Amino acid sequence: MNLLFRSVRIIDPHSAFHNQVVDVWIEDGIIRKMGENLAAISSGQEIRQEGLCISPGWCDLRVHAKDPGYEAKEDLYSLKRAAAAGGFTEVVLLPNTKPVVQRKESLNYFRSFSEDQAVQFLPTAALTLGCEGKDFTEMLDLHHAGAVAFTDGEEPIWNADILLKSLQYLAQVNGLLIQRPEEPTLTVHGQMHEGNMSTMLGMRGIPTMAEELMIQRDLRLLEYAVETFDLRPRLHFSLVSTARSVELIRQAKAQGLPVTCDTAAHYLAFTDEDLVGFDTNLKVMPPFRPASEVEALRAALADGTIDALVSDHYPQDTESKNLEFDLADFGISSLETAFATALTYGNLGLEKVLELFTANPRSVLQRNPVTIAEGKIAQLTAFNPDEEWTVSLADWQSKGKNTPFVGKTLRGKVYGVVNQGTSTFHSKPLSFKV
User: What CA–CA distance (Å, rounded) separates 107 from 121?
Assistant: 10
Mean pLDDT for each consecutive 10-residue tract of the chain (434 residues)?
96 98 98 97 93 98 98 98 98 98 97 96 98 97 97 98 97 97 98 98 98 98 95 96 98 98 98 98 98 98 98 98 98 98 98 98 98 98 98 97 98 98 87 71
Q: Are 361 and 373 in contact (CB under 8 A)?
A: no
pLDDT at 434: 54
Range of the domain at 143: 56-365
DSSP assignment letter at 398: S
Q: Are 28 and 1 in contact (CB under 8 A)?
A: yes
User: What CA–CA distance (Å, rounded) separates 26 from 30?
Assistant: 5
Structural domain contains residue 340: yes
In 3D space, the residue among 428, 351, 355, 417 whose CA is nearest the CA of residue 26 turns out to be 417
- Please identify which of the residues 312, 326, 329, 386 carries the catalytic annotation: 312
User: What CA–CA distance (Å, rounded) separates 153 from 311?
Assistant: 14
395 is catalytic: no
The backbone torsions φ and ψ at residue 220, rounded to the nearest 5 degrees and listed phi first, read: -70, -40
Structural domain contains residue 120: yes
DSSP assignment letter at 366: T
The backbone torsions φ and ψ at residue 154, rounded to the nearest 5 degrees and listed phi first, read: -75, -10
Structural domain contains residue 64: yes
Which helix (H) or strand (E) element contains residue 143? Answer: helix 139-144
Q: Are 152 and 129 in contact (CB under 8 A)?
A: no
Q: Which residues does 270 contact at the CB level (< 8 Å), separation at least 6?
A: 282, 288, 404
- Within 264-304, residue ranges assigned H as helices are 291-303
Structural domain contains residue 3: no
Structural domain contains residue 81: yes
| Burial (Cβ within 10 Å: 0-12, 13-18, ≥19) of residue 162 | middle
For the beta carbon of residue 391, count every other beta carbon within 10 angstroms: 19
Q: Put the strands of the sheet holding 88-93 in their side by side order.
A: 58-63, 88-93, 120-123
In 3D space, the residue among 350, 426, 398 whose CA is nearest the CA of residue 82 turns out to be 398
* CATH classification at residue 302: 3.20.20.140
User: What CA–CA distance (Å, rounded) separates 426 from 305?
Assistant: 34
Structural domain contains residue 168: yes
Count: domains in the chain: 1
The backbone torsions φ and ψ at residue 432, rounded to the nearest 5 degrees and listed phi first, read: -110, 140
C-alpha separations of 327 from 317, 320, 321, 399 in Å: 14, 8, 8, 21
C-alpha separations of 103 from 93, 107, 108, 156, 254 in Å: 14, 7, 9, 20, 37
Structural domain contains residue 431: no
Q: Are 389 and 340 in contact (CB under 8 A)?
A: yes
User: What CA–CA distance (Å, rounded) separates 243 from 154?
Assistant: 21
For the beta carbon of residue 258, count every other beta carbon within 10 angstroms: 18
The backbone torsions φ and ψ at residue 426, rounded to the nearest 5 degrees and listed phi first, read: -105, -30
Structural domain contains residue 226: yes
- Give the CA count within 13 Å in the CB-facing half-sphere of 389: 23
